[in-house]
Chains A and B, each alone.
Chain A
Amino acid sequence: MTALLLRRMLRHKGFLTGLALMVLLALLAAFAPLVAGHDPFGQDLAHRLMPPAWSAGGSWTHLFGTDHLGRDYLARLLYGARISLAIGLGAASVGCAIGVTLGVCAGYFGGRVDQAVSYLLTCQLALPGLLLAMALVFLIGPSLAVVIVVIGSLHWSYYLVVTRAATMQLKRLDFIAAAQAIGESRLQVIVHELLPNLLNPILVIFTLEVGVAVLAEAALSFLGVGVQPPTPSWGLMIAEGKDAMFFRPWLVVLPGAALFLLVMAANLLGDGLRDVTAPESRN
Chain B
Amino acid sequence: MLSYALRRGVLAIAVAITVSLATFFLLNFATDPAQALAGEDATPEVVQQIREEYGFDKPLAVQYLRWLGGLVHGDFGQSYHWRSPVGALIASHAPVTIRLALMAIAITILVAIPLGAIAALRPNSFVDRLSLSVAVGAQAIPGFWLGLVLIILFAVKFPIFPVSGDSTWKHFVLPAIVLGAGSVPSVMRLTRSGLLEVLGSDYIRTARAKGFRGVRLLTRHAMRNAMLPVVNVLAVQLGHKLGGSVIVESVFALNGLGRLAWQSILGGDVPTVQMLVFVFAITFVVLTFLADLLGAWLDPRIRLG
Contacts and interface: CB of A to CB of B under 8 A. Distances in A.
Interface in A101-137: 119, 122-123, 125-132, 134-136
A202 interface: no
Interface of chain B, main secondary structure: helix
A70 B85 CA distance: 45
A256 B142 contact: yes
A132 B148 contact: no
A132 B23 contact: yes
Given A252-B152, A256-B145, A135 B273 contact: yes
Nearest to B273: A135
B102 interface: no
Interface centre among B11, B270, B281 (most CB of A within 10 A): B281
A126 B145 contact: no
B23 A126 contact: no
Contacts of A122: 11, 15
Given A139-B31, A283-B193, A127 B247 contact: no
Contact of B244 (A128, A136, A235, A259): A128
B266 interface: yes
A222 B144 contact: yes
Interface in A202-231: 211, 215, 218-219, 222-225
Interface of chain A, main secondary structure: helix
A135 B265 contact: yes
A19 to B, nearest CB: 15
Interface residues of A, number: 44
Interface stretch (B54-62, B133-141, B222-230): B133-141
A277 B15 CA distance: 37
Contacts of B244: 128, 130
Given A222-B144, A252-B148, A271 B136 contact: yes
Interface in A252-283: 252-253, 255-256, 259-260, 263-264, 267-268, 271, 283
Interface stretch (A61-69, A170-178, A242-250): A242-250
Contacts of A135: 27, 265, 273, 277
A138 interface: yes
Contacts of B149: 252-253, 256
A136 B31 contact: yes
Contacts of A219: 142-144, 247
Interface in B232-275: 236, 239-240, 242-244, 246-247, 250, 258, 261-262, 265-266, 268, 270, 273
B191 to A, nearest CB: 13
Interface string A129-151: 11110111011100000000000
A126 B152 contact: no
Given A127-B281, A268-B136, A139 B148 contact: no
Across the A-B interface, the 9 shortest Cβ-Cβ residue pairs: A128-B243, A139-B31, A256-B145, A263-B140, A264-B140, A128-B280, A126-B281, A126-B284, A123-B18
Given A123-B22, A139-B268, A130 B145 contact: no
Interface in B11-59: 11, 14-16, 18-19, 22-23, 26-27, 30-33, 36
B117 interface: no
Contacts of B268: 138-139
A22 interface: no
Interface in B195-225: 196
A143 B288 CA distance: 35
24 contacts: A122-B11, A123-B15, A123-B18, A125-B236, A130-B247, A131-B265, A131-B273, A131-B277, A135-B277, A138-B268, A211-B140, A215-B140, A215-B142, A219-B143, A225-B266, A238-B144, A245-B152, A256-B145, A259-B140, A259-B142, A260-B140, A264-B137, A268-B136, A271-B136
Contacts of B262: 134, 223
Contacts of A126: 15-16, 19, 239, 281, 284-285, 288
Nearest to A257: B145
Given A211-B140, A271-B136, A140 B243 contact: no
